[in-house]
Amino acid sequence: MRNAFIDELVQLARKHTHIALVVGDLGFSVIEPFADEFPDRFVNAGVAEQNMTGFAAGMASEGYHVFTYSIANFPTFRCAEQIRNDVDYHKLPVTVVAVGGGLAYGPLGYSHHAVQDYALMRTMPNMLIAAPGDPFEVRACIRYLIENPGPSYLRLGKAGEAVVHPNIPEVAPGRWLTIAGERGSPRALLSTGAALGYALNFYERRANCDCAVFSLPLWGMRSKSIQPTMAYAFDEIVTLEDHLVDGGFGSWLTESLVTTERSPRVRPIALAAEVCGTVGTQLTLNRLGGLDFINPASQV
Amino acid sequence: MNDMREFANTIRKSSLLMTHRAQASHIGSALSIADIIAVLYGRALKIDPMQPYMQSRDRFILSKGHACVAVYAALAARGFFDANRLEDFAQDHSDMMAHISHKVAGVEFSTGSLGHGLPFGTGKALAAKKRLENWRVLVLLSDGELGEGSNWEAMMFAAHHRLDNLLAIIDYNKLQSLTTIDKTLRLEPLAEKALAFGWAVREVDGHDHQGLLRLLEHGPWEAGKPSFLIAHTIKGKGVSFMENKVEWHYKSPSSEQVAQALKELICA
């Protein structure tokens, strides 16, 4: 995903001279293509995320679309108030890019885990969350964000995620992308972000699961209202996310459907509500947290 | 300089009336900056009330957003909006918030939480540099606000990037929310700190219009360096019973107190 991100951003920056990339002293061996080609629109803010986000908002107020880039927890929680007050409340085109969403940096310990970021971002009224499930969704999301400038949060995995789509899909806030399965299935497996791999794994391992798989890469407070339409045809929706259930994607969908007359049952599969006190690979920590790649059937 | 003195007086009177009507706080903070605001909006800023968002304007950011009545008063007096709007200040359904709001014509940026103005202004200054535009960014901060680390992040950044189109003004009245700066988080030696961060530093009596104008009208003071103006002020300046009193960070004046304050200002 990281490579798709920088490649797409470079391509778009050739056409759009208002795109700027600001990094928080991170991105070694990732961001160089942008920095080398557009040195005048690249800034390393140093280890200072509050200032990074504040000055990104200032640049955005002067016509730039600024992407702030760092490891998941740094450009989010460290500068949450700058994101809320300066970016979101002023409706400025700043895209906070978090690389290593979920437990992608598992071995680095809980300071580097991002399992509450959806909860933070989705309470900001103007914020659009972009959580792509594969590299093609990354490209689709970035294109959407550039064409529809505003406050946004782009949550990337790390590297090596499987390619799911055959090409770049059409994306829009709140719209589910069909990944696998038959129309008319009573059950939906709906994932956001890198949890798409888990949804597909379950689908492929469970023949006759009577379900269809969907990915939702763009969502937020503003796209809650169309969820009843998206969910209408299903009896049950199983959501998958590498985030805590509290304040997460499944909670968002549940809230979106709570006022509908005929509301399908929502069963969120998310990480356990515990502080992850151990280290390990993403796979290991997800499994410890209850997001089982090997046998999701036991949970569903 | 009579015009600026009169302008400052108008700002003080309007601020008192707004604060009284809304039963709002922070009149001491507004009176502290009234002279700085008068010099900025009276002479120093390149602005046009008829074109509040013209590209070549100077950008002024009030980082100590709680002192907003002084800026609202100045904007109204300069014709950015009808002065009757000042009566809406902090009233039900009004967008004239008691911390400065960019919904008000002429206001660049909403603040209220301290430590946001300088980073934001730094971004504007960087944008101007990148686009080879020659407008300036002026940010007014409080002294207590300098306790926020984000300001020092921005100071490092602005000096590193040689943003000499950026000017920070410190309203140094030596009082913060509960007591003096000195008893809370000592700022001294402030000038040396700013110098060490790579800024050009000047000090001025923050109620001396000529001194302020000399330093605020043109910039940069030193090519390649952002400017840091330490304006020595008196909290509550102009109203004898408010001067240097912490309680006027919170209290709103009664009718009798407003009458007394206005009398003092008329006689000044």
CA of B62 vs chain A CAs: smallest distance (Å): 14
Across the range A15-23, mean pLDDT stands at 98
Strands A128-130 and A218-220: antiparallel
Domains of chain B, first to last: 2-267 (3.40.50.970)
Pure H helices in chain A = 2-15, 32-37, 49-60, 80-81, 117-121, 135-147, 196-205, 227-231, 249-257, 282-288
Q: What is the pLDDT of residue B2?
A: 55
Give the Cα-Cα-Cα angle A85, B169, A24 (nearest 5 degrees): 45
* Nearest Cα residue in chain A from B148: A50
CA of B104 vs chain A CAs: smallest distance (Å): 13
Q: What is the pLDDT of residue A293?
A: 56
| CB contact (8 A) between residue B123 and residue A58 | yes
Q: What 8-state DSSP symbol labels residue A41?
A: G
Cβ–Cβ < 8 Å for A156, A186: no
Prior bond to A217 cis, omega within 30?
no
The closest alpha carbon to A233, from A284, A289, A188, A285, belongs to A188
Domains of chain A, first to last: 2-156 (3.40.50.970), 177-292 (3.40.50.920)
CA of A11 vs chain B CAs: smallest distance (Å): 21
pLDDT higher than threshold 90 for residue B21: yes
Prior bond to B226 cis, omega within 30?
no
CA of B256 vs chain A CAs: smallest distance (Å): 37
Cβ–Cβ < 8 Å for B39, B216: yes
Candidate from A124-133, A166-175, A273-282, B238-247 with smallest mean pLDDT: A273-282
The CA distance from B59 to B121, in Å, is 8
Across the range A31-41, mean pLDDT stands at 97
| CB contact (8 A) between residue A58 and residue B128 | no
| CB contact (8 A) between residue A89 and residue B119 | no
Task: Classify A279 as helix, strand or coil.
Answer: coil
Tens digit of each residue's pLDDT (9 = 90 or more) over A96-120:
999 999 999 988 988 999 999 999 9
Tokens of A284: 């290991």
Cβ–Cβ < 8 Å for A170, A218: no
* Nearest Cα residue in chain A from B129: A40
Q: Locate tokens 């302008």: which residue?
A: B7
Backbone angles phi, psi at A5, to 5 degrees: -60, -55
pLDDT higher than threshold 70 for residue A29: yes
Q: What is the pLDDT of residue A102?
A: 92
CA of B154 vs chain A CAs: smallest distance (Å): 6
| CB contact (8 A) between residue A48 and residue B157 | yes
Q: Which residue has the higher pLDDT, A9 or A206?
A: A9
Across the range A151-160, mean pLDDT stands at 90
Backbone CA torsion sign across A15, A19, A24, A25:
positive
* Nearest Cα residue in chain A from B101: A90
Compute CA distances B262 → B12, B16, B29, B168, B206, whole Å: 9, 8, 17, 31, 21
Q: Is B125 on the interface with A (CB under 8 A)?
A: yes
- Residues listed for chain A: 300
List, in sequence order, every residue forming a beta bridge with A94; answer none if it has no partner.
Answer: A66
The model's pTM: 0.95
Tens digit of each residue's pLDDT (9 = 90 or more) over B175-207:
999 999 999 999 999 999 999 999 999 999 999
Strands B166-172 and B137-142: parallel
Tens digit of each residue's pLDDT (9 = 90 or more) over B56-98:
999 999 999 999 999 999 999 999 999 999 999 999 999 999 9
Cβ–Cβ < 8 Å for A82, A22: no
Q: What is the mean pLDDT of chain A?
A: 93
Across the range A166-179, mean pLDDT stands at 97
Reported ipTM: the value is: 0.96
User: Could you tell me which residues of chain A have a Cβ less than 8 Å from any Cβ in chain B?
Assistant: 40-41, 43, 45-46, 48, 50-51, 53-64, 81-82, 85-86, 89-90
The CA distance from A202 to A236, in Å, is 15
Q: Which of A51, A64, A89 sits opposite B122 (nearest CB)?
A: A51
The CA distance from B120 to B165, in Å, is 14
Proportion of chain A above pLDDT 70, given as a percent:
97
Backbone angles phi, psi at B98, to 5 degrees: -80, 0
Interface test with B, best of A23, A44, A50 (most B CBs within 10 A): A50
| CB contact (8 A) between residue B119 and residue A53 | yes
pLDDT higher than threshold 50 for residue B265: yes
Tens digit of each residue's pLDDT (9 = 90 or more) over B117-173:
999 999 999 999 999 999 999 999 999 999 999 999 999 999 999 999 999 999 999
